[in-house]
Amino acid sequence: IIGESKIDDNVTLYPNTTIENTKIGEGTIIKSSYLENSIVGKNCQIGPFTHLRPNCVIGDECHLGNFVEVKNSSIGNKTKANHLAYIGDADVGSNCNIGCGAIFVNYNGRTKNRTIVGDECFIGSNCNVIAPVNVANRTYLCAGTTLTQDTNTEDFIIGRARETIKPNRANNYLKPTNLS
């Protein structure tokens, strides 16, 4: 625990956790994670291996799990990102689900841009949310979707191409094996 950190009552800290200049709300559990210059609400579950970079505000009853990185973002109450996600430069509403492998793409090579996600949204696994973009309340992004434009309330977005299967063509690309 480093710097101007404040830890409320009934917080559970597991080994290999670093808390730097961060406020942790009552009843929160943190497992093997790194939190810096942020605020975490009450009754959250953080980690293992979550990284809160500077300027994050995490609401109450949130779950940020394995290998989730959050940077310069706010996360609303009861929102979950259970594993393998990057949420950068975003304002995410309450009661949202951020799927495995979801990426908030905030950098275009020159500037950082912000994403706004409303309440009760579902961001499926392996989605790319390309900032700047506004995701309206109760939007559903299907797994594998790349979103580049604003949505309206209760939009259902599926943005992936159908696969093409070419039988017996893998050997053109794979190294020979003893299985052949």
The rounded distance, in Å, linking the Cα atoms of 179 and 165 is 21
Nearest to 105 by CA among 94, 95, 90: 90
Distances from the Cα of 177 to the Cαs of 117, 170, 171, 172, 174, in angstroms? 48, 12, 10, 12, 9
Residues in a beta bridge with 34: 18, 51
Among residues 51, 71, 83, 138, the one annotated as catalytic is 83
The rounded distance, in Å, linking the Cα atoms of 36 and 57 is 11
83 is catalytic: yes
Question: Which residue numbers are catalytic?
Answer: 83
